[in-house]
Amino acid sequence: MSKNKILIAGNWKMNKTTAEARSLVSEIVAGAGSQTKVDVAVCPPFTALESAAASLKGSSVMLGAQNVYVKDSGAYTGEISASMLKEVGCSCVILGHSERRQYFGESDAFINEKTKVAQAAGLLPIVCVGETLAEREAGKMLEVVSTQTTGALAGVTDAANLVIAYEPVWAIGTGKTATPEMAQEVHAAIRALLVKQFGEAGNKVRILYGGSMNPANASELLDQADIDGGLIGGAALKSASFLELVAIASSKGGCCCCCGK
Ligand code: PGA
């Protein structure tokens, strides 16, 4: 089976001011803004979305947010709706990142609600799942990832507008990457769940790897059968490393040279 089109998405987390975002995005656009071999997305903090959108105009790079609330408007102090994200130019949104689960108590049920709201608004959800070190050491890794995946996707029927990101918590920002084999084992398990839920369409859902992915380890990870891209934290904060990741992904080739997929 041919692989899915690779997606390289940068998760900037709580980094970059408006001005910094403008210059980082300009560098990314200069280096990768017209290629279509792989999909590229940047996900700045809310305050930098507008300046990033302006710098991305006319390029193939997608804009994403790092969170969304489930209501469309109203008395929800501190929250941002899907329609606001659409209006500012977002086409995707990271959901259920482990930092949101850990520091803000997000549950699978809440992430499920957000996934449906994002899809209904025409935003591509990038739904994050992943086990902690304690869970892996207790042999519960597949159980945890399976519960998170099925929980986040309960009642979801639109496989065409869906991305999953497997991010082992112990590999995020630590420099410890899952080996390609460790990652592939979990990606294959997620793939099986997707096929169970969506049938053949489950094979087309991209499953990204995240957790200290960088130019030194990306190639081997992207060679795995069920790894369709990367959700990049630290290495997305500098254009040189992010663009190198895009170049590595592009070198993997797509399905054909004429359609760019
Ligand atoms: P990292 O972060 O690449 O810095 O490990 C990835 C993520 O948390 O999305």
**Residue 165 CA: which ligand 1 atom is closest?**
9
- The predicted structure's pLDDT at residue 259: 45
Domain that holds residue 200: 7-251
232 CA → ligand 1 middle, Å: 5
Q: How far is the CA of 214 from the centre of ligand 1 (A)?
A: 10
Q: Which one from 143, 167, 185, 244 is the annotated catalytic residue?
A: 167
Q: Among 12, 213, 245, which residue has the most ligand 1 atoms within 8 Å of its CB, making it the best to mutate?
A: 213
Residues of the chain with pLDDT under 70: 1-2, 253-261
User: Which one of the listed residues 97, 106, 113, 135 is annotated catalytic?
Assistant: 97
Enumerate residues lining ligand 1, CB below 6 A: 11, 167, 172-173, 210-213, 231-235
Is 30 contained in some domain?
A: yes
Q: What pLDDT shows up at residue 176? A: 87
Alpha carbon nearest to ligand 1 atom 1, residue: 233
For residue 259, is it within any domain?
no
Residue 258 lies in a domain: no
Q: Whose CA is nearest to atom 7 of ligand 1?
A: 233
From residue 99, alpha-carbon distances to 14, 94, 103 in Å are 11, 11, 6
pTM for the model stands at 0.96
Residue nearest to atom 2 of ligand 1 (CA): 233
**Cα distance between residue 232 and residue 76, in whole Å:** 30
| Atom number of ligand 1 nearest to Cα 172 | 5
Q: Is residue 155 included in any domain, yes or no? A: yes
What's the maximum distance between 2 C-alpha atoms anywhere in the chain? 50
Task: For residue 261, tell me if it sits in a domain.
Answer: no
Active site (annotated) includes residue 97? yes
Catalytic, 187? Answer: no
Cα separation of 201 and 194, whole Å? 8
Backbone conformation region of residue 104, classed left if phi is above 0, alpha if psi is from -120 to 50, else beta: alpha
Structural domains in the chain (count): 1
Distance 10 CA to ligand 1 centre (A): 9
Q: What is the CATH number of the domain that holds 165?
A: 3.20.20.70
In a domain, 1, yes or no: no
pLDDT value for 254 = 55
User: Does the residue 256 lie in any domain?
Assistant: no
Write the Ramachandran bin of 13: left for phi over 0, alpha for psi from -120 to 50, otherwise beta.
Answer: left
257 found inside a domain? no
Express each pLDDT in 154-213 by its tens digit.
Answer: 999 999 999 999 999 999 999 888 899 999 999 999 999 999 999 999 999 999 999 999
